[in-house]
Amino acid sequence: MKKIITLTINDQSHEIAVEPNITLADMLRYELGLTGTKKGCDTGDCGACTVIMDGDVVNSCLVLAIQANGSVIETIEGLSTDEGLSPLQEAFVEKGAIQCGFCSPGMIMSAKNLLDKNPNPTEDQIREGVSGNLCRCTGYQKIFEAIESQRS
Amino acid sequence: MLLPMFEFHEPLSIAEALDLKKKLGQSARILAGGTDLLVHLKKKLVKTENLISLSRIKALSLITEQKDSIFIGACATMTQISRSPVIAKKFSALKSGCDNLGSHLIRNRATIGGNACNASPAGDTLPALLIYDSVALLESCGKKREIPIADFFTGPGKSCIQPDEILTGFRLPIPPDHSGAHYIQLGKRKSSEINVVNVASFLEYDPDTKKVIATRIALGSVAATPIRAARAEAAMLGQAPEEASFFAAAEKARREDCRPIDDFRGTAGYRQAMVGVLTKRTLATAYERAKGACI
């Protein structure tokens, strides 16, 4: 039976009726059209579905939408503004950290969360900070360079 | 992947959760972090008609310090436990386990209760729970039970929890002075990996006699459950803590205490060899920590 949940997504409040067995990833993509969040493995191994929930990064494929009732969610769509891409997103573009782009939203959300919590990470901390996000294209080096360029 | 249809219940207190569990019986499963259960449901390895989510029950995610022990709520996440100052200071092997489980994405959701109740022989927090002599706290309507962690695991994926019970948390006695512990997990990758072998060692020594007066060694991924290495412990007790005795204890663990199998992650022979290596290393570092030489 559907239940009405209220949550904040990218600074906007949403009230939405969800079945208990729909994941946060599916709710974002199918109910709200926020398809920036991707589904890769759907079992919490690849990180393509990474969103920031209540300040911490999570696999949205392993969160039931109903569990996100009352939560604050940030997705990739929330990073860019009317002026354009965020500096972190620009860095990914400039440094060649994006090839097919499928891992990129999740990778960038993990990178954003890392930099929000640790504005000056070491190379090891950068590697560890995105170690839950798999990339099949780039070999990761350009991704680390993009994140490094955003250190303060 | 689709999840099956189920009713979702979100009790706000332990009493409410226990009532639900009693009423719904075997038709209900407990949901904490969901990082194991939701995967099993998606892969159709388990079925359920009801999920009872514990995440709104605040009492279950507390980490509190009492006089001689700490309480860790079953719904405390890996991240919460890792960030706790008392855990970092006094239970370093548990912090290591919590820091290594899955990925940081998983650690923000996965709970210690879930790791224990999933009862994988390779569970990342389980060797530490064993070496710290933890007590599992179980509740059902009108009844509480305390089970020493050594008796908690009954088989791969199986624990002694009864159908009407909920694991509410663990009590860990505060380790004495002149003791230390260490945990190492070995996998083929550094992240998002199921362990090939994982070992935790605890060691307490007498600073006057310079002999080991207590030791607990736990081996993961090399038996049907995480196990204590009884013969290695017996070999270590009463010895001077030095390389030769660590090696002798590690040999006991390697030859006599573990029962690994071949699987696609590694052969039994390799796992056995690694039990020897990791037991020796964790004992040596546990001793360094006991001396206060490192954290």
pLDDT tens sequence across B112-151: 999 999 999 999 999 999 999 999 999 999 999 999 999 9
Retrieve residue B285's tokens: 């570092």
Topology at the third CATH level for domain A87-148? DNA polymerase; domain 1 (1.10.150)
DSSP string over B263-285: BTTB-HHHHHHHHHHHHHHHHHH
**pLDDT tens digits for range B70-81:** 999 999 999 999
Asked whether B291 and B225 are in contact (CB, 8 A), the reply is no
Q: C-alpha angle A50/B123/B145, rounded to 5°?
A: 115
Contact at 8 Å (CB) between B180 and B205? no
Residue type at A53? M
Query: Other C-beta atoms within 10 Å of B266: how many?
Result: 21
Q: Are B221 and B121 in contact (CB under 8 A)?
A: yes
In this prediction the ipTM stands at 0.96
- Residues contacting residue B61 through CB under 8 Å, at least 6 positions apart: B55, B73, B75, B76, B77, B80, B111
User: Which two three-digit tokens encode residue B89?
Assistant: 């200071």
Report the alpha-carbon distance of residue B153 to residue B122 in Å, rounded: 12
Q: Domain boundaries in chain A?
A: 3-78, 87-148
Chain A nearest-CA distance from B42, in A, is: 8
**Whole-number pLDDT of residue A126:** 98
CATH architecture label of B7-53: 2-Layer Sandwich (3.30)
Sign, CA torsion A8/A11/A16/A21: negative
On the CB side of A54, how many CA atoms lie within 13 Å of its CA?
A: 9
The CATH architecture that domain B61-173 belongs to is: 2-Layer Sandwich (3.30)
The Cα–Cα gap between A55 and A71 comes to 10
* pLDDT by 10s per residue, chain B, length 295: 899 999 999 999 999 999 999 999 999 999 999 999 999 999 999 999 999 999 999 999 999 999 999 999 999 999 999 999 999 999 999 999 999 999 999 999 999 999 999 999 999 999 999 999 999 999 999 999 999 999 999 999 999 999 999 999 999 999 999 999 999 999 988 888 899 999 999 999 999 999 999 999 999 999 999 999 999 999 999 999 999 999 999 999 999 999 999 999 999 999 999 999 999 999 999 999 999 866 5
CB burial class (10 A; 0-12, 13-18, 19+) of residue B67? exposed
What does CATH list as the number for A3-78?
Answer: 3.10.20.30
What is the fold of B193-290?
Enolase-like; domain 1 (3.30.390)
> B7-53 and B193-290 share one CATH topology?
no
Residue where the block lists tokens 């194991």: B36
- Beta-strand pair B227-228/B212-220: antiparallel
Specify the DSSP element, H or E, that contains B232: helix B230-236
pTM: 0.96
End-to-end CA distance of chain A: 48
Asked whether the beta carbons of residue A128 and residue B79 sit closer than 8 angstroms, the reply is no
Report d(CA B187, CA B198) in Å as an integer: 9
Give the H or E element holding residue B96: helix B92-100
Domain ranges of chain B: 7-53, 61-173, 193-290
* B208 contact partners, CB below 8 Å, separation of at least 6: none
- The partner residue sitting opposite A50, judged by closest CB among B3, B38, B105, is B105
- Secondary structure (H, E, C), A65-123: HHHHCCCEEECHHHCCECCECCHHHHHHHHCCCCCCCCCHHHHHHHHHHHHHHCCCCCH
In 3D space, the residue among A31, A56, A29 whose CA is nearest the CA of residue A42 turns out to be A29
* Beta carbons of A59 and B106 less than 8 Å apart: yes
| Contact of B286 with B203, CB cutoff 8 Å | yes
pLDDT digits (tens, 9 = 90+) for B62-102: 999 999 999 999 999 999 999 999 999 999 999 999 999 99
Residues B229-259: b if buried by 16+ CB within 10 A, e if exposed:
bebbbebbeebebeeebbeebbbbbbeebbe
Contacting B with CB below 8 Å, chain A residues are 1, 3, 19-23, 42-45, 47, 50, 53, 56-59, 62-64, 66-67, 110, 128-129, 131-133
Instruction: List chain B residues with CB under 8 Å of A58.
Output: 105, 108-109
Three-state SS for B26?
helix
Q: Pick the residue of B46, B105, B188, B194 with the most A CBs within 10 A to test the interface with A by mutation.
A: B105
